[in-house]
Amino acid sequence: MTFSPEPLAGLLQELDNEGYAFTTVTPATHARVLGRRRYEQARDLRDVFGWSMPFAADLLPSDILSLLEEGGALDRQGGTCRSLVRVSSLSGRLFLHSAYPTEEADSVFFGPDTYRFARFVEAQAEEIAPPRDLVDLGAGAGPGGISAAGLLEPERVTLLDINPTALALAEANAMAAGMDVETRVGGLDQVEGEIDLIIANPPFIADAQGRAYRDGGDMLGAGVSLDWARQALGRLSEGGTMLLYTGSPIIDGEDRLLSELAELAAETEAQLRYEEIDPDIFGEELDQPAYAEAGAERIAAVGIVLRR
């Protein structure tokens, strides 16, 4: 899917002028809400850009409809339209991401984890000196990096992701926030030199469909988090920090990600701080065969600080 950042940034500004606000919920909650309104069309901006409901073209102001179409995010089917993007509120800003449901391979996710990630970064920012370089690894649509940059005012902000669609939305989100950022397809190898601050919210679910925004690899989805932590410790400047928000499967009371990170920190002489932010998220995933066969009892949301 190809989006044009500039008109989509204009769309965010128009929605902000309209006083638009929306808090994005879990997919399960979203489905429940839509289930109650199954045969309805959108009635307002929140229905169009929040709940991803179909709408009649004359519902939207002409300038908003034009910007949506110019941005490559308008799907017309006969007399009915649908926005291919959602817009969510976070920390006083609006952010574009994929429309519901996020089933495509290049979907760009935003939800309750995004809010927890942002709150974790905001809380830790109080202890971090303004960095020269801030890198958001696996940035998606950029809410973490943009929010952190607003707090810390680094000299350079780089948003990295393997998904070009995500980075197109990240560019639009940064433009709308009035921020100058670099977006690059790939990982830390796309950034030269040492890095003062790396933040990340990697995928952490054992996803049978292998969707990039969701599949966290081995260790029941914790593998990518461990790998990114290892990469980051090899790139941080002296005194540099990684802020990692992720999920960890707990099996028979054991948090294997914590054990692996503690070992990694000891090997690299890094400081590790690890906290359980929420003891039980995405409980429905425990019904999936991978989790059931391993005897996983919960998935915990965790916040990790690694410092060289």
Angstrom CA distances, 272 to 16, 137, 256, stand at 39, 19, 15
Q: Is the pLDDT of residue 25 over 90?
A: yes
Strands (E), the chain: 55-56, 74-77, 80-83, 85-90, 93-98, 133-137, 156-161, 182-185, 195-200, 236-251, 254-255, 271-278, 296-307
The architecture that CATH gives domain 112-307 is: 3-Layer(aba) Sandwich (3.40)
What pLDDT is attached to residue 210?
81
Q: How many CB atoms lie within 10 A of CB 267?
A: 10
176 conformational bin, left if phi > 0, alpha if psi -120 to 50, beta if neither? alpha
φ and ψ of 247, to 5 deg: -120, 145
Q: How confident is the model at residue 213 (pLDDT cuts 50, 70, 90)?
A: confident
pTM: 0.95
pLDDT in tens, 237-266: 999 999 999 999 999 999 999 999 999 999
Domain boundaries, the chain: 5-98, 112-307
Q: Is the pLDDT of residue 207 over 80?
A: yes
